[in-house]
Amino acid sequence: MKFFLKVFLLLVLSINVLVAAPISTSAKYAVIMDFDTENLLLNKSAKSKIYPASMSKLMTLYILFEEISEGSITLDSEFLVSKKAWKKGGSKMFVEVGSYVKIKDLLKGIIVQSGNDACIVVAEGISGSEQAFADLMNVKAKELGLQNSNFKNSTGWPDKDHYMTAYDLALLSKKIISNFPSFFNMFREKEFTFNNIKQGNRNPLLYSYKFSDGLKTGYTEESGFSLTATASKSGRRLIAVLSGMDSIKERKDETIKLLEWGFREYVNVNLFEENETIIEADVWLGNKAIIDLITKDTINFTLHKKNISNYSATVVYNNPIAAPISVNTQYGKLIIKNTFKGDITYPLYAKENIKKAGIFKKISSVFSYFVFGGYAK
């Protein structure tokens, strides 16, 4: 039996899925990611290493969220404040050495107050030491697919071997929002009082951009002013990561500008629904002549409004497909072009089971194929 490789060109147009309209930014590194599709609307050195400063506290928080969700600790659990945590400089929650602090307070101490001391308390409470916790952060980064991040501490304190990328920060932010929605709501809190000291949230967008609801600022002298932010508008959510700016005002203004640009210029388009038939394939020697190949994924992409119909997709499969055919077996693939991620491939599965044909159907099919060059229907 000879099988033919059949390549079905579903749509072939002039450009790929995502073609970014040009926009400039003074940020040295910048990413605008659509939350639902993970398509990048803006990519300025997205995978270059940066010193994330306090933005790396998002990984500290992710691990803490996970520990609470898995029941290892509760919001009312308490961690001891060491001398190391108490003495740490930079932004502080102002914990007292030798005291015990509840997890629910430490969460706000990190999210709202960006407390370096709170981060070390959490690190030592979970792993015994900050170094051991940094090792855990690196393990978790690999699990989450952060391919260009390395952590040396829980705070983002400057270290030449402590780095992330704008893309990794955007991906980590999505994981936080998706996996811990109840905790994510804490990022919109504008102030927190601990030890009779009230501090405001350092995220400037909470006070100046009504669509924003998190996440984390960062600053060191070497890295400049940075921000990882997210905003939701008209049913869409975007994630912005900007780094390497010269002032607090520039950080705020550039982030709002890019988020508004993303909401204004781009739209999410549904290409295929879950379990939608992508192509009908011939069946060889089966009790049915045709099989539907389906995708098990809902496939969405973010497209520029001016290029909404311009994308290319290809279906590749062996035709005909020999029976028996099983519903959960892959028989083809859908390939969609994407400028940032390269070609994205989705497996195609049989919609139903098809048994081998009976002896008379087999004879008829073989006769039809060799005499007429087709398959007996």
H or E segment at 78? Answer: strand 78-80
C-beta of residue 252 within 8 angstroms of C-beta of residue 205: yes
Rounded to an integer, what distance in angstroms lies between the CA atom of residue 358 and that of residue 140?
54
- Give the active site residue among 56, 82, 91, 114: 114
C-beta of residue 325 within 8 angstroms of C-beta of residue 354: yes
Q: Give ∠ CA 287-288-290 in degrees, rounded to 5.
A: 155
Rounded to an integer, what distance in angstroms lies between the CA atom of residue 225 and that of residue 371?
74
Length of the chain (residues): 377
- Give the active site residue among 28, 44, 54, 152: 54
Amino acid at 260: E
Nearest residue to 281 (alpha-carbon basis) of 179, 349, 370, 328: 349
114 is catalytic: yes
- Give the active site residue among 57, 140, 152, 337: 57
Rounded to an integer, what distance in angstroms lies between the CA atom of residue 195 and that of residue 363?
86
Nearest residue to 113 (alpha-carbon basis) of 98, 95, 132, 135: 95
Q: 3-state DSSP call for residue 69?
A: helix
Rounded to an integer, what distance in angstroms lies between the CA atom of residue 68 and that of residue 13?
49
Give the active site residues: 54, 57, 114
